[in-house]
Structure 1
């Protein structure tokens, strides 16, 4: 393990390096469920090019951004567990993620986007239904004039 690593042990470092930023099992399951309902979307894309925030599913024409948040990483009020090792580091990391999530919601909403946040523990079929309902609602509303994203 490197001297500059934040990991508390070589095992923790190896485990954390194995975490992927995209194509997780919950993401793949959600994408399959949404796709099977006939919806098409972009994957892991910035809703607004100038803002460094990547949504898991993006429907650009109706300005819908979907984020699938992990319970540990985003501090789920129901399932988040406090890290036993390096607790202060992880508490700060989760708090930063939560602040960034709120900031992302605000930036996208102010730019005319609708944000849907789904917790990884939510039933995939229900989460897909929420997305389908959001898409249907947004398609009923006239879309805003195009702006440079």
Structure 2
């Protein structure tokens, strides 16, 4: 059962989707994986013991667990991890045979200004410019397609029959 969201509604647990990912040329799986890794990094940030000597937050997350979380194959997860590493959004540090890698999640240095500028432009996208009136689609006169013209032509024909004639 669902209910409408009201001013006093409590929200279910959720993950933050960074807006800069909207402009990235990644697969949806890669974007979701980054979101999940960022969420885990935020949890590591709140808990003690998940910060290295340099002060960088890390987390452990096996490829098997990532695949199960996103309901994707391990190959798909590996491809997404490689894509995130190539653009320097994550860094994986090996911990030895049989141990999961440390995953360091990174954020672009200029993401806050990037996001604010792009959101302000996008918000005005659906509004008319220079006080133009928006015309409802039902008011516009649309041209009929060829099929309608043919049907109309056959309806407009007027046949007269004389006695003893058939159509």
TM over 0.5: no
The structure that has the greater radius of gyration is 2
**TM-score, normalised by the number of residues in structure 1:** 0.26
**TM-score, normalised by the number of residues in structure 2:** 0.24
